[in-house]
Amino acid sequence: MERNNTAKTATELSGKSKSSELSRVLGLHQGERHIIAIQNFPDPDAISSAFAHRLICQKYEIEVDIVYDGKVSHQQNIALIKILDIELLRYSEDIDLARYQGSVFLDNQGTTTSLVNKLEQAGVRPVIIVDHHERQNILSPEFADIRRIGATATIYANYIREGMLELSKTDRNHMKCATALMHGIRSETGELIRAKEEDLLAAAFLANYHDANLLAEIVNQARSKKVMDIIHEALGNRVIKDNYSVSGIGYLRMEDRDAIPQAADFLLTEENVHTAIVYGIVLTDKNEEILSGSFRTSKITLDPDEFIKAAFGKNDIGKYFGGGRQEAGGFEVPIGFLSGVANKEFEELKWQVYDLQVKQKIFNKIGVTEKSKD
């Protein structure tokens, strides 16, 4: 389908509402097939927003696949997908990316998914970005809605409230969408504790359509023994300096990666700690290794996005190793040449090097030295 390449961008149409802009762009792509690229390790905000986007796209006869290139491992995320029957595709070489006419990035801007280069190589152009993290300036889509707001799910609740999808209490898919978005908002705002007016208004709107019993079932998932062991490891390894709690937890399996942000959340609850950073080396099922970390803070004046970018920098093509939003962030650094386990001694030496390097970067950013640690 040939389109007018001189179509106005989102910034040029600032006089119209974002939902109107999105509707216009979707109309230009009517009848196509799109891929929604969410994080390698999807969270409730991304999953729920992708589910809502797919329902909205039905109005425009756009077929949508939700794809991730990692693992769904957090117990609540697994429950969200199973209980609400949300279809996600895990990327594999068998998926022909060239079958898509456009890509959509939700709750990310290309920094937390490894699908960006694959899509670019397949000639799939970015069409839409909707996100609540700091602007990353990696992709140039036709439509971008990037707001400093509690959750991407809040943005999609607003789209729906503004008429992009007419919810019906008798439609089971609409109930599941409202329930998923409610979970996305509450998970991103600390059970609504950090929610702002927009988030609360969105939650109030969704309350008319969601299923409270299903939401309770999703939320009330017990932590696995493995997650508890990793949290215990983070607690034992933590170094506290100037109200920062920094902990390296060594190697962990891909399916346990979501224990890292849970450990960071836990360390943040300690007295006199305003910021927690937890990291480890994740072993992927492709025999690769990634240094993965999570950043949590309760300090209002501390910008996670700026901190992570300044501390860890960018790769040789100018892409930052991480970023964030208000109160939270994350980073992923490929191990590259040193990936793989030769023997136990080599593995331990490699971890020591990376652990020291990460701590040094963090302490340099804070303005303290490792020698001065308690």
DSSP 243-294: TEEEEEEEEEEGGGTTHHHHHHHHHTTSTT--EEEEEEEEE-TTS-EEEEEE
Average pLDDT, whole number, for the chain? 90
Instruction: Write down the pLDDT at residue 26.
Output: 98
Q: Higher-confidence residue: 315 or 291?
A: 291
For 50-70, the pLDDT digits (tens) are 999 999 999 999 999 999 998
Q: Higher-confidence residue: 216 or 4?
A: 216
Q: What domains sit in the chain, N to C, each tagged with a CATH number?
A: 18-219 (3.90.1640.10), 225-372 (3.10.310.30)
β 289-297/33-37 pair status: unpaired
What tokens were used for 120?
Answer: 């670019």
| Top-confidence range, 2-6, 40-44, 131-135, 243-247 | 243-247
Q: pTM (2 decimals)?
A: 0.77
What tokens were used for 128?
Answer: 């839409």
Instruction: Write down the pLDDT at residue 366.
Output: 93
Q: Which of 62-76, 160-174, 244-258, 281-295 has the lowest mean pLDDT?
A: 281-295
Distance, CA of 26 to CA of 142 (rounded, Å): 10
Instruction: Write down the pLDDT at residue 314.
Output: 84
Share of the chain above pLDDT 90, in %: 71
Q: For residue 312, which phi and psi values (nearest 5 degrees)?
A: -110, -15
Instruction: Write down the pLDDT at residue 136.
Output: 84
Indicate whether 276 pLDDT > 90: yes
Q: Which helix (H) or strand (E) holds 156?
A: helix 152-159
If one counts every other C-beta atom within 10 angstroms of the C-beta of residue 269, the result is 11
Residue 371 — very low, low, confident or very high, per pLDDT cuts 50/70/90?
low
Q: Which of 107, 65, 110, 109 is nearest to 90 (CA)?
A: 65
The maximal CA–CA distance of the chain, rounded, in angstroms, is 64
